[in-house]
Amino acid sequence: MKKALPVLLTAAIFVFYFFHFVGIGVDYWDTYIAAPATFIAGQPAVFVDQQGQAKYAAAPRRGLPADLVDKQTFGIVSQDQRIGAGVTFAIAYLAWGVLGFRLLYAGFGAMTFLLSFAVGRRLWPRWEAAVGLGLLVAINPLMLAIDRLNANFIAVPILMGLLALLLEKPSRWLLAGLVYGALGGIRNEAIVLAPALALYALPTREGRRGLALMTAGALSTIAPYLAWNKFAFGKCLIHSSQYDSFVGFRPEFAHRLFGWQFKINGLFNWPFHDHLVRTPHYPFPTYWTLPLVLILCFGAALSAAMIVGWLAQWRADRRLSGLLTGWIVCGLGLFLFQENWEEPKTTFAALVIGPLAVLAGQGVAWLVAGAREKRRWLVFASALLVVEGFVLSARLVDAPVDERWYERFPKAKIEAATIGCLSDEQRREWMFFHTDECAAELAEQRRKLTGGTLWPRLYYPLPWPDVDLRAEWLRREPPIFDVWDHIYGY
């Protein structure tokens, strides 16, 4: 049973995510993966408008890599498209057509459980605890909220695999570096975890030697991505969102920090801005939104267990505690000050559900180990009060709206009357940028994030997608949303 159950659960999770996937051409973030994958596969594509009607077709002309930078067609470098996830899905697309996107998506879901289970086996002697960790990560409500193409969904199993390699005795430093470098090409933001990895490596002689191996491995697998940046954007170290030849309306905004002034086509919050603000459609600044989303998706009880688990982990193994803490701080810290927010960006929080789930598991293990000790339950109760206190105190937050957002997305004022209040589903589609917030929407989001829940709760409902496998099997020319002309066109 011990050997069979993880295999059965892996298969069950694969099947679940296979049918959970809503398909491609349903969301503007799909374009980040579907368009590059199509052109890297050397296949034509049909670009559609917001009603799903065909606007124009694009077909390969000169082959790779010229087609990817050809501004006369759909050159992905002029459309803020990312190549790493595109390469990943292009192989599956070539093999199975549009169905390949569904198969690979489901595969990443299954691997999330399997690799999280592998982490649990290295942490705890009881295999049931490892199964619990696998389920907590793989079917966490935040993962369930990603039912379409999204690089954050891909990153989670890779990150858990990286953690499993580091927890080996001895750590597999070179292989971990190869995985980390490949991840940097697929989900660029994961690079910020470097300080956390250094915290884990530097305290021991074996770790310091391993850090050199890991660095070499990471550089070797991220090198092709850096070479692509140099070819496409003229710089090795550049995020594609900062390319200065994009299609669409992309104004820059002045920011400053301790006397340093700079311009960027993003919207940073205080202290880069002169006062605290919030993105329209959101009742809170991102400083509150992301922690509240994580508490919602884990529940207050497991969130309190994370605090208890951190204390227990710090006492038992400060080296691993440093890795998990650094991972969470770096993974969230990159996004908390950003206020050009939207629902798909909220899935960046998935990058830290692995270490949070590990800490929750450590907290539960510590409580179970001393279940008869009242002191431990008092510690847990205190942690629970801290979590609930944070959630309740958020109700008092009343930051003004970020007026810069309307300058970046002027259609929010122009077309707002034709769309009205947004539902949860509409909030993660193009309508988000074409309408202003309304009182009912803000009230619903406040209720959702500060209502309080002891156990994990869905971030989005779970509708059963209408799947037509015959239409996807070996089908070419997938429908891809013409995102930049519609959202950024002005």
Q: What are phi and psi of 56, to 5 degrees?
A: -165, 165
Work out the pLDDT band at 73, boundaries 50, 70, 90: low
pLDDT for 350 beyond 80: yes
pLDDT for 8 beyond 70: yes
Average pLDDT over residues 302-317: 97
Q: What is the pLDDT of residue 416?
A: 60
pLDDT for 490 beyond 60: no
pLDDT in tens, 215-272: 999 999 999 999 988 888 888 887 777 776 666 667 889 999 988 999 998 899 999 9
Tell me how many degrees the CA angle 483-223-89 measures, rounded to the nearest 5: 40
Average pLDDT over residues 335-351: 95
3-state secondary structure of 26: coil
CA–CA gap between residue 287 and residue 332 (Å, rounded): 9
Q: What is the pLDDT of residue 488?
A: 61
pLDDT for 49 beyond 90: no
Using alpha carbons, select from 10, 3, 9, 185 the residue that is nearest to residue 111. 10
CA–CA gap between residue 429 and residue 248 (Å, rounded): 18
pLDDT in tens, 162-178: 999 999 999 999 999 99
Mean pLDDT of the chain: 91
Q: What is the pLDDT of residue 127?
A: 92
CA quadruple 428, 430, 433, 439: dihedral sign: negative
Tell me how many degrees the CA angle 116-119-125 measures, rounded to the nearest 5: 120
CA–CA gap between residue 186 and residue 109 (Å, rounded): 16
Average pLDDT over residues 408-433: 80
List of residues 6+ apart from 286 with CB closer than 8 A? 269, 278, 279, 335, 336, 337, 338, 339, 341
In DSSP terms, 25 is beta-bridged to: none
CA quadruple 144, 150, 301, 339: dihedral sign: negative
Q: What is the pLDDT of residue 470?
A: 83
Q: What is the DSSP string of 225-246?
A: HHHHHHHHHS-SS--GGG-TT-
CA quadruple 463, 466, 469, 471: dihedral sign: negative
8 A C-beta contact, residue 297 and residue 346: no
Q: What is the pLDDT of residue 486?
A: 65
pLDDT in tens, 11-31: 999 999 999 999 887 777 888
Using alpha carbons, select from 393, 432, 409, 177 the residue that is nearest to residue 295. 393
Q: What is the pLDDT of residue 233?
A: 82
CA–CA gap between residue 300 and residue 389 (Å, rounded): 10
pLDDT for 467 beyond 70: yes
Three-state secondary structure string covering 412-467 = HHHCHHHHCCCCHHHHCCHHHHHCCCCHHHHHHHHHHHHCCCCCCCCCCCCCCCCC
Q: What is the pLDDT of residue 13?
A: 98
Average pLDDT over residues 427-446: 90
Q: What is the pLDDT of residue 455?
A: 95
Alpha helices in 167-247 (DSSP H): 173-186, 194-201, 205-233
Q: What is the pLDDT of residue 76?
A: 74
Average pLDDT over residues 42-59: 81
Q: What is the pLDDT of residue 10?
A: 97
